Amino acid sequence: MPNRKSLLTNSIVKKDKAKLQKGVRYLGFDGVNTFSFSIKSETREHTFHHIKLELTELYEAMLDLVDVDSITDITLIKSVITYAMTLSIKVYCSCEDFLYSGTKYWNYKNGSGIEEETRPPQPWKLAKRSLLCKHIRYILMNISRYTNIMARSVSKAYQKEWEDYAKEIEARELADIAEEIGELEEEKPKSKTSKKAKTTTAKTSKTKKSNK
Ligand SMILES: [Zn+2]
């Protein structure tokens, strides 16, 4: 599956302008697996491009690596985000370059497009075949600047669910114990063949003896 490294490798290297850095803003997290950023256009005033990064495996990676006790551990979640980017990533940018020069099309074909695009680029633009516009490329190249704030939003978004899940497990375990006790109680008077019941009977008689 396409990941951060393969996207960067398969994009045409342009000079990454330092100008971009000032214009990047982290917009937020959708609560599932997609992060949004905006970047100021260098060529047009008052214009912003909207960038989305979808870490397709983030939720599964979080389930595997983070439990209710570590859901507020930002350092851990940062490393889970970095790890999820090595698994699978999908991208989107609202700039003309991404939308109209074939980048959106190539990403969709590559399995790394958030939005569907089945119209191939016009023949005179075919040579490009880049998977990233300069905005997405800039963010992916400099992702470590943003993983802290990304981790904070993931922690916040997932916390309640992780707590609810922990409570559910606890409740289920208690119910299992209660059920087991119930079964033992039922087995006690009749069964002579069941090992469990035998042990219980033995214990009970012992207790009775010591009570005397
Ligand atoms: Zn772009």
156 CA → ligand 1 middle, Å: 28
Cβ atoms of residues 126 and 102 within 8 Å:
yes
For the chain, domain boundaries: 4-157
Q: What are phi and psi of 52, to 5 degrees?
A: -125, 140
Which pLDDT belongs to residue 121?
78
CA distance 84 to 80: 6
- pLDDT value of position 41: 85
Residue 139 Cα to ligand 1 middle (Å): 10
* pTM summary value: 0.77
Dist. CA 8–CA 5, nearest whole Å: 5
Kind and range of the H or E element at 24?
strand 24-29
The per-residue pLDDT for 113 is 95
Question: Which strands form 48-54's sheet, in the order they lie side by side?
Answer: 24-29, 34-40, 48-54, 90-93
Q: What is the pLDDT of residue 17?
A: 57
pLDDT by residue for the chain (212 residues), tens only, comes to 899 998 888 776 665 554 676 789 999 999 999 999 999 887 888 889 999 999 999 999 999 999 999 999 999 999 999 999 999 999 999 998 899 888 899 899 989 999 999 888 776 655 566 788 889 999 999 999 999 999 999 999 999 999 999 999 999 999 999 999 998 888 776 555 544 444 444 444 444 444 43
Alpha carbon of 5 to ligand 1 centroid (Å)? 18
CA atoms within 13 A on the CB side of 43: 6
pLDDT of residue 15: 59
Cα(137)–Cα(114) distance, integer angstroms: 16
CA dist., res. 105 & res. 120, Å (int) = 6
Spacing, Cα 52 to ligand 1 middle (Å) = 10
* Token representation of residue 180: 């087991």
